[in-house]
Amino acid sequence: MIAAAFVSEGGKLSGWCANSVITPDNLCFIAETCRGILSANRAEQRPAQTGVVAFGNRTLVFREGEAGLFLAYLDSPTNDAVLKWLFNQVNPLLEAEGVKLD
Amino acid sequence: MLHQALILTSHREYAQAMRQGLLKLGHEKTRIDVELDAARAMQLAPQQYELILLDTVLDTMDGLQLLQLIKQQSPASKFIIVSDSADETSRAVAYQNGADFFLERPRTPEAFALALEAIRGLFKPNVAGEPLQKEGDSPVVNIRDIVQMRCLSGDSVLLLVRSQFQSGDIFIFRGEIFHAQYPGKSGEVALQDMLRWNGGLVRIRAIKLTNIPPRTIEVPYRQLLATAEKPDAEGPDMLATGGELFVVSNEPAPDTAALSVVREAPPREDSAPAFFPKPIVLAGGETPLPQVNSHWKVSLSGDLMEGSQVSEPDRCAFITSFIYRKLADVAVALEVDYFSHVTLLGPHLQQVLVADNMGVRHAVFDTVWTTEDLRVQYVKWCCEQSF
């Protein structure tokens, strides 16, 4: 994993970790952009909760919940099994902080 | 070619020098008027001029306000605002008030020559028979001239470049080329390719630079443009055909029919990662299109190219373009190339978008019956359509 972040509904970066290349500002910007994409899809009657974007061999995964948006930037391709594993790891951590994604 | 222009300035010497320069861009009947008094200039009919150069600061009037007034009277004229200092505020106001270009006043013969060369680019005729021009579209221009002009005037601008078959972005920040990208390539390599698209004649739309991308191009713009002008720059021979580049090495050039088949370059990632489920393959080797609710393809300029079961074409084209543009911004922030494919998972529907060098394919699946295999099959099918 290269970076991960949780951005609350108000656009506040509640928690993040990243290598030195990705700044917190960039993470916020990316999260807002992903939120915009999900919002546009809702407006088109095609609501989506999770997005997986393949940039070559890297993957941006994002999932929106009521409290905000979680995103992870991975240094590998993903498939459904990887996603399931990822959220099995992430969900308990977020739930411990009172955030529910699903 | 320039037929009639007006120079509105309070700098007499500059006016004469610019007049002489502009006359060289025209023909024997070209008329270049010089007006040193803004109040008198307002009595002129601006519609008669194709080009109006005016200073930001005039003796009796604010040039930027005057620009707004004249632009309303003559929206078809091209306006160049000339400023003694390339400050961001003046530049922003100039564009807001309708300027086509913001030019820092040239002070040296070299700067003068470059400014004139860039102005020449505004009046270059389209290539005869060029099918690119469509009513309502931005005009076909020389990409090198536009980049040079923007850099020369110290602009911060995003140039959306569109050739017949490709589109990409050039980010100019404070007069230097910061970043360039198009699907599959970014940085200096992307810029050099784009400068050669369609023999340098492309459509360009300039929009305000809302965020500064990470710098991927360190070489000064003059050096970059000079390199691009060399016909036999390093590397293999390149044959520009219809906006595309085909590397032909030392082999004979392929015939046109063959080129039309391979015109659409493969996406960056043309094979699924090894651990993906193996998609269904037909006996002939092709992957069949999986069952989808609907699917469509949108060009990189946002036009719907084809589709099936598309109920609202405009809305479909819009949402695909919207997602593509948004993720292009994300790619810039992450310092990576454009995305190859995207999956959006929802409770009722799943969507897959696959980008290639000509556009974005977009499919909608029912979540109930969609498996990962089907989504992978769609990505593979899209990749095969690109060849």
Non-local (6+) Cβ contacts of B253 within 8 A are: B239, B246
Strands B78-83 and B51-55: parallel
B158 pLDDT higher than 90: no
CB of B288 closer than 8 Å to CB of B301? no
How far apart CA B237 and CA B229 sit, in angstroms, is 14
String of b and e for B234-261 (b: at least 16 CB within 10 Å)?
Answer: eeeebeebbbbebeeeeeeeeeeeeeee
Residue A82, pLDDT score: 92
Q: Which residues of A touch B337 (CB under 8 A)?
A: 55-56
Query: Model confidence over B14-62: pLDDT tens digits?
Result: 888 898 889 888 888 888 888 888 777 777 778 788 899 999 888 777 8
Per residue, the 3-state secondary structure of B32-100, as one string, reads EEEECCHHHHCCCCHHHCCEEEEECECCCCEHHHHHHHHHHHCCCCEEEEEECCCCHHHHHHHHHCCCC
Reported ipTM: the value is: 0.96
What is the pLDDT of chain B when averaged over all its residues? Answer: 76
Q: Which residues of B touch A26 (CB under 8 A)?
A: 333-334
- Chain centre to alpha carbon of residue A41: 16
**How many angstroms separate the CA of residue B170 from the nearest CA in chain A?**
20
Contact B276 A79 (CB under 8 A): yes
Share of chain B above pLDDT 70, in %: 78
pLDDT band at B281 (very low <50, low <70, confident <90, very high): low
Q: What does pTM read for this prediction?
A: 0.48
B264 pLDDT higher than 50: no
| Amino acid, res. B249 | S
Of A97, A94, A54, the residue nearest A76 (C-alpha): A54
CB of B165 closer than 8 Å to CB of B154? no
Query: Model confidence over B66-118: pLDDT tens digits?
Result: 888 888 788 888 889 998 876 667 777 787 778 888 888 888 888 888 888 87
Non-local (6+) Cβ contacts of B84 within 8 A are: B55, B56, B57, B104, B105
Considering only CB atoms, A46 lies closest to which of B275, B335, B351, namely B351
Residue in chain B lying closest to A33 (CA): B326
Q: B137: helix, coil or strand?
A: coil
B262 pLDDT higher than 90: no
Share of chain A above pLDDT 90, in %: 60
For chain A, say whether B258 makes contact (Cβ under 8 Å). no
How far apart CA B239 and CA B379 sit, in angstroms, is 30
For B19, the enclosing helix (H) or strand (E) is: helix B12-25
Contact A52 B345 (CB under 8 A): yes
Instruction: Tokens for B54, please give them.
Output: 């005016």
Given strand B51-55, what is the order of strands in its sheet? B26-35, B2-8, B51-55, B78-83, B101-104
pLDDT band at A49 (very low <50, low <70, confident <90, very high): very high
Instruction: Tokens for B273, please give them.
Output: 């990662």
B236: DSSP letter? S
Residue range A76-102: mean pLDDT, rounded: 90
**How many angstroms separate the CA of residue A44 from the nearest CA in chain B?**
8
CB of B217 closer than 8 Å to CB of B188? yes
Contact B327 A53 (CB under 8 A): yes
Of A39, A79, A42, the residue nearest A61 (C-alpha): A79
Residue B282, pLDDT score: 52
